[in-house]
Each structure stands twice: as structure tokens, then as C-alpha cells.
Amino acid sequence: MIFIKNKYGIKFLRSQLGHKINSKFLGALIIPLILSIGIVPAIPFSAGVDIPHLLPVCIDKVWIESINGRIACVTPSTAEKLVQRGWGTILDEIMEDTSDEKSITPVISGGTLPITETPIIGNPEKEFPKNYVPGTEELAEDEIRLTFLGTGMPFPTRNQAAAGVLMEFGNGDILMFDVGSGTVANFNSMKISPAELDKFFISHLHTDHQGDLDMFWAQGIPFGRILPMNVWGPTGDGHALGTQAFVDGLLAANYWDLKSREGNIPTSGAEIITHEFDWTTTQVVYDENGITVTSFPAIHAMAGAVSYRIDWNGMSVVYSGDTKINNFMIEQGQNVDLLIHETFLPAEILSEKTGMTLENAMVVVNELHTPAKAAGVVFELAQPKMAVMYHTWVTDETITPIFDDLRIPYLGPATLAQDFTVFNITPDSIVVRQALVDDAPWPIVPEESAHAEKSDEVPVIPQWLEDQAIDVEEAIKEILEKRHG
Ligand SMILES: [Zn+2]
Ligand SMILES: [Zn+2]
């Protein structure tokens, strides 16, 4: 095995001898090397902070390199299978590389730095604190703050919610693109009232893109929203597969939830206005306060998936949702400020980590989604100011392979989004940071919301049930009497 280190830290491993060695021996070999050479990240970072780093140690497993140079840490049995299939060779020697090649130094989710080599693009007019702390920074009139509330998969974790992007504009408007499971909890740490977020754009109806819409709806009713919620989303192949049917179904499924609140608290915010639009057409689906949202078709799983382009004040952001790479994206993404494109982890790692067969993993990654190399093609052809990858597992085992694949076709500025990666966009600059948030926030409820009108009809609990309720004061009196004799 050849273990290659350059002056920016540990970069990658490369095979030479191609025969297997004992994995414990391998671990024993790598750790002292790491200790002896030391790792000093030297990527210039304008905020002047230390960049944490990860050690690519593959304990009790083996490193394997694919024929196209991808490195993965897998179990010995998987490695054998991969070698048998001709995927690559097992690595087994260590040496140091003195080349000057620059590599990404990753920070896993929960870290305080964004995963990018270019945290600042252009010339920001103001100084930004190292981290974004919600509620502490006013937006400039011509500024957009875009925050990832979820970057993950149909397998939300405490590290990563499913898909969701919050956009706050200098004119006070707030829009949300996708509301995957887990995004509502992250939103609640943004110090924004549920009363202020009532515009949701859904890219397609997979649960990892809409799973928290019900909770956004429900929490808004007691905690601030008194106006109807608005949901934009695509048609499908027939009414039952479109956004209108989805929203109607959501309200039907949550009818008990609504009826139980009516009369007890104000419920005017329970209404949802659905704006369903033809998914096959590239068209402006929203145009208010100078902000336009354009929908265009995405190639994902079946009919009814779209991507969005958002334009305001000469700035532009494209959000892919889920899609295979396509010409609509290249056209809409030309020179935008942020091009957010889904970027799946390599099929080999998906297979290794999830038990999915390599064959199925390759279908998921290459046919239903976009692997990093393909995302790199989009970025290279569209030339955004900043390329943004999302919709993958962000771990110490995926970051380097994703960037290595991305860099084959694309060399420009790129960020791998984590939950709470924040982009401040102005006409002259893009600044990327991580937000540091309060994990136990209180809801922010405007006073007028708390005093909104209630329905006259109060839900009824039958008398036989009410009769079984316990009077607290009576009960405490009895308990105290018994205690004191
Ligand atoms: Zn999907
Ligand atoms: Zn998805």
C-alpha cells in the first residue's frame, strides 16, 4: 500500500503492489506514520482559523483502489469480491508524496467550518464572523442568505436531515425549497417565527423532499402562522400523482389533528393554498417582490420532478432537487451565483455501507441520481460562481472520493453542503460558513398571532370520559393529608 501525503495533509492512498495484507497490520502501519509525519493543514483560510482534519485510517478493514483511482475502505470480504469483479486492487504499501497538489481538508457535519476550499468568492462589502449565529446578523438590502436545513437522504440522521434549503432575502421575504424529514427541527434553530415562513416549493414528492411538510403545517398553527400556507409543486402523470392530490391527502390524513385544535386555539393558519404547475414546462411559477422562481423539468424516477431557478436583484440560484444531469440544467445554470446540484456518494460505498448489491447501487446512483463525476460535468458546462453538492452521506469516508470524482471534469469553486452550511450571496461576493445554532430553541410567536380569532366550535369530549378526569387540586389535598397524617 502506498500512503500518500502532501503538504496540505493526507491526501489519498495509491496502490502499487496490488496484493492483500493483514488488515490489523495495515492499521498498525498507518497510525505511527500519521503520528510521525504530523498533519498540518495549510489551506489558506481567510477567517484565520484552524481547520480540523480527519485521518483516513481504515481499521480492521482494507484500502482498495478502483481502476479509475477511487479509494475506499472496505471489509476484507468485500475487497475480495470487488477484486474478483475487476473493480480494482487492494493497497499494501506506504510512502510519502512530496507533490504540491492541493487537497480538500474535510470537516464532518457538526464541525464549525464548511467543506470547501473557497469559503470566500469575490469581495464582500462587510466582514463576516467566523460562524453564522441565527438572529445576530441583519441582511443587507441586496443580500441573500441561503441555509441548508437538510442535505441528506431518505435515511435522515442526527447528522443530516433530508433535503431542505431555506432562502432569506434582503427584502424580508423567506422561501423554502423542499422540506425533507428532519428539516423542521433544523428550521426551528434559525430564530425565525413559523409565522414568517409560509411559502414552500417542492421539487418532487419523494418523502426525503416533502416528509416534514405536515410538521411545518402543524407547528405553524399553535406557534404563529395565522395566514394560509402556500405550497408550490409539480403536476404528475395524472391528478393522483400531482402536488394538489398530495396536499389534499396530507390535510385528510391530519384531519384529527386539525379538528382537535379548532376552538381551543386560533386555527386560521391551517389552510393550505396549493399552486400546482405543469412539470413539463420551463416557466415562472412565482413572481412577487422582485423574486421570480422558475420551474424546469428534472429527470428523476418518473414523471413529475422539477428543478428550480430563483432570481432576485441580479443574483441567481439553481436548486436541482433530484435529477440525472440534463440539458435544462445546463441552460438554467449558466453563470448563476450558486448551482446546487444533487451529488450522490459512489456506488461502491453505497453498496458497501448499506448492503445493497453493487448492481442495484449503480442503478440508484447512475440512473436515478447524479454521481460526483457527472455533477462535475454540470458545473463545468454551467460555470456557476459556486458549485454546491448536496444529497449524500457526508462522512469521513465519502468526502474525499466525492471531491476526487468531482475534480475530474470540474476545477472551479465547490462546496459539499452539510446541514447548516450557510451562503451569504451579494452581487459581488459569496461567503460560505457553518451556522452555530441553539439546539433547544423556543418558538417565536408574534403577539398578533397569539390573539387571533378562534373558531366557535370546540371539540367535545364525551361526558363518560370527562367523568374519569382527575381533579388535580383535590388529588394533591388528599396526598398531602395522607403524608402529614
Ligand atoms: Zn427523489
Ligand atoms: Zn432525494
Reduced 3-state DSSP string for the chain: CEEEEECCEEEEEECCCCCCCCHHHHHHHHHHHHHHHCCCCCCCCCCCCCCCCCCCCCCCCEEEEECCCCEEEECHHHHHHHHHCCCEEECCCCCCCCCCCCCCCCCCCCCCCCEECCCEEECCCCCCCCCECCCCCCCCCCCEEEEEEECCCCCCCCCCCCCEEEEEECCCCEEEECCCCCHHHHHHCCCCCCCCCCEEECCCCCHHHHCCHHHHHHHHCCCCCCCCEEEEEECCCCHHHCHHHHHHHHHHHCHHHHHHHECCECCHHHCEEEEEECCCCCEEEEEECCEEEEEEECECCCCCCEEEEEEECCEEEEECCCCECCHHHHHHCCCCCEEEEECECCHHHHHHHHCCCHHHHHHHHHHHCCEHHHHHHHHHHHCCCEEEEECCCCCCCCHHHHHHHHCCCCCCCEEECCCCEEEEEECCEEEEEEECCCCCCCCCCCHHHHCCCCCCCCCCCCHHHHCCCCCHHHHHHHHHHHHCC
**CA gap 208, 245 in Å, rounded:** 18
Nearest one of 152, 183, 207 to 398, comparing CA atoms = 152
Give the angle subtended at the CA of 110 by the CAs of 203 and 54, to the nearest 5°: 115
Residue 12 sits at φ, ψ, to 5 deg, of: -165, 175
Which pLDDT does position 98 carry in this prediction?
47
CA 441 – ligand 1 centroid, Å = 30
CA 246 – ligand 1 centroid, Å = 15
Which pLDDT does position 91 carry in this prediction?
74
Which grid coordinates belong to 157? 440522521
CA 213 – ligand 2 centroid, Å = 15
CA 151 – ligand 2 centroid, Å = 9
Q: Which residues surround ligand 2, an ion (CB under 5 A)?
A: 208, 322
Nearest-ligand number for the alpha carbon of 205: 1
Nearest-ligand number for the alpha carbon of 301: 1
**pLDDT, mean of each 10-residue run, the chain (485 residues):** 35 30 34 31 32 44 68 72 76 49 47 90 94 96 97 91 98 98 97 97 98 98 95 98 98 96 92 98 98 98 98 98 98 98 96 96 94 98 98 92 96 96 97 94 93 89 96 97 94
Which pLDDT does position 5 carry in this prediction?
37
CA 405 – ligand 1 centroid, Å = 22
CA 207 – ligand 1 centroid, Å = 8
Nearest-ligand number for the alpha carbon of 209: 2
CA 156 – ligand 2 centroid, Å = 11
CA 302 – ligand 2 centroid, Å = 13
CA 154 – ligand 2 centroid, Å = 6
Domain ranges of the chain: 2-90, 115-434
Which pLDDT does position 60 carry in this prediction?
63
Which pLDDT does position 391 carry in this prediction?
97
Cβ-proximal residues to 323 (8 Å cutoff; 6+ apart), any chain = 298, 299, 300, 305, 307, 329, 342, 369, 370
Which pLDDT does position 26 carry in this prediction?
35
CA 342 – ligand 1 centroid, Å = 10
CA 142 – ligand 1 centroid, Å = 33
CA 391 – ligand 2 centroid, Å = 7
**CA gap 119, 111 in Å, rounded:** 15
Nearest-ligand number for the alpha carbon of 154: 2
Which pLDDT does position 33 carry in this prediction?
31
Strand partners, 115: 416
CA 209 – ligand 1 centroid, Å = 7
CA 177 – ligand 2 centroid, Å = 12
Looking at the domain that runs over 115-434, which CATH code has it been given?
A: 3.60.15.10
CA 347 – ligand 2 centroid, Å = 16
CA 187 – ligand 1 centroid, Å = 21
Nearest-ligand number for the alpha carbon of 305: 1
CA 204 – ligand 1 centroid, Å = 7
**CA gap 1, 3 in Å, rounded:** 6
Which pLDDT does position 132 carry in this prediction?
96
